Amino acid sequence: MARSPDLKTLLSWLGRKLSPRTGEPLDMAPGLEGVLSWRVARIRQDTMAMAWLVLRMVMDPPGPERTAIIQRLVQVFAVEPTPAVRRAMPAEIVDLLDSPEPDVRYLAAVLADARERPAAIPGLLRGLRDPDWMVRSKCLHALRSASIPPDALVPLLRSERRQEREMALSLCGLPIPELLRRELWRLLEDPEVSVRQRAAVMLGEDPEAPGLWAVLFDMACTGKGHVRRAYAIRLMGRLGLRAEALPVLLEALRSDEEELVRKETAEVLAVLAPGVPEVADALVAALKDDWDEVGVASAQALASRGATTETVIPGLLAALADGMLSERTRGQVALTLAALGVGEAVPELLRQLTLPGPVLQEKERDPHQGEDLRGASNLQFKFDVMRALAELGAPARVALPALVAKAREGGLDMLELRLEAARALVLLGTAPAEVRSLLQDLPLACEPGKKLLAQYGISSG
């Protein structure tokens, strides 16, 4: 940094050596004082001006001018630079990662493109131990886009400082290399809870990891943030539930404040629902959860037959008829009852199918606000009801007249609903030719129409 660069050297590094019109060297006409007087927003819009200032910072000797350049660049790069700006920076920016000046190290971390310039990776890794937290933060950010050799992370994973171990964990890409996998196993016994839990998240479903299930269980109970707790519950289920987890999971399903945690819990408990009455009862109660996703997951979890099936059927039938529940939940309840082969559900399914609803009514709109006054019923619920009837087979044949009516009515506007009714008719034994006659007003004779009929299982022959 003992000399100022001559103009030609600067512009050569900028990739703009000569004017295409005159062949003369280009110049930053305003000069240093002029560029520094520009508003920060204007400098950010001028890639050449930014690169020129960085080059001056690289090559100028210490002094008031260089200090002013550094201060202005810190302001300019308070906003993340684009990849194009990073590419315009000189290779010498990598050397500044070891500068004795914190602001210069900060700028180097901001501008070093670790993906395009792997030579920056060692300096950025050293920067994770920088005493300045802003430098550490920018080094970590820059490294996230880099392909870091696994052995380069080992010293950080073994660091005595919790923060460095956590940063190294966040840089472990998937799939985890065997070298790092062993390091993560060791971190499952780390004295810091946050490190143990981060290691568990990175290991995922590793069945060989010693102590992983215990860390996940602790995370499900005490993890910071509902997303992490929900993830831990999911992984516990995939690794295999243990007896000590059951009380915690049942309590989470009943009363956890976070919807995602309740949903994941319902899904995980599905494996126990057919044989554990306490679980089955809790899932039936969860059908009334305020969040649709929890109700749907609970209904899905009850869809396998087992020792508890007969005890949950009354609750499922009641839920199907409960107009206070969401149609999404009731639709899944209908499918669950069909999967369990509950013929007693047919009368209620038929009632739901034939109820006059706004889905088949002409919408009324407020001419001033353009909003639906009646709203629209969830078509998916109608689909689910018809699919449930089709799956139930012989007991559902009493619904054939209603399905015929649904296949006929509504014109082209109700194409999907009519086709779903037609599919149910075929599955319940109605001849395809007879079913196609119900759809003769629809434009299905063309090639796309034939493909659509085939998609719904209605032969077009």
Residue (of 434, 378, 376, 380) closest to 407 by Cα position = 434
| Range 92-106 average pLDDT | 94
Query: What distance in Å separates the CA atoms of residue 97 and residue 109, rounded to the nearest whole number?
Result: 7
The reported pLDDT for the residue numbered 389 is 98
pLDDT for residue 302: 98
Cα–Cα dist 433/416, whole Å: 19
User: What tens digit of pLDDT does each residue of 254-291 get?
Assistant: 999 999 999 999 999 999 999 999 999 999 999 999 99
Distances (CA, A) of 51 to 45, 77, 86, 386: 12, 12, 9, 66
Q: What is the pLDDT of residue 460?
A: 58
Query: Taking the CB of residue 307, how many other CB atoms lie within 10 A of it?
Result: 11
Nearest-angstrom CA–CA distance, 333 and 303 = 9
Instruction: Find out whether 316 and 337 touch, Cβ atoms under 8 Å.
Output: yes
DSSP 124: H
Give the C-alpha separation, 387 to 420, whole Å: 8
pLDDT tens track for 300-315:
999 999 999 999 999 9
**Mean pLDDT value of segment 185-197:** 97
Tell me if residue 21 falls in helix, strand or coil.
Answer: coil
For 2-58, write each residue's pLDDT tens digit.
Answer: 444 444 445 454 544 333 334 433 345 578 888 899 999 999 998 888 988 998 898
Please compute, for residue 405, the number of CA atoms within 13 A of its CA located in the half-sphere on the CB side: 10
Of all residues in the chain, the percent with pLDDT exceeding 70 is 89
Span 333-367, pLDDT tens digits: 999 999 999 999 999 999 999 887 654 433 343 44
DSSP characters over 50-91: HHHHHHHHHHSPSSHHHHHHHHHHHHHTTSPPPHHHHHTS-G
Q: Which tokens in the block code for residue 81?
A: 């630079």
pLDDT value, residue 186: 98
Instruction: Give the residue among 339, 362, 331, 352 at the shortest CA–CA distance from 402.
Output: 352
The residue ranges of DSSP E strands in 319-432, in sequence order, are none
- Mean pLDDT in the chain? 88
Confidence band of 461 (pLDDT split at 50, 70, 90):
low
pLDDT by residue (tens digit) across 210-230?
999 999 999 999 988 999 999
Reply yes or no on whether the pLDDT at 375 is more than 50: no
List beta partners, residue 344: none
What is the pLDDT averaged over residues 149-166?
A: 96
377 or 192: which carries more pLDDT confidence?
A: 192
pLDDT at 357: 60
> Cα–Cα distance between 406 and 420 in angstroms, integer?
9
Q: How many of the other CB atoms lie within 10 Å of CB of 335?
A: 20
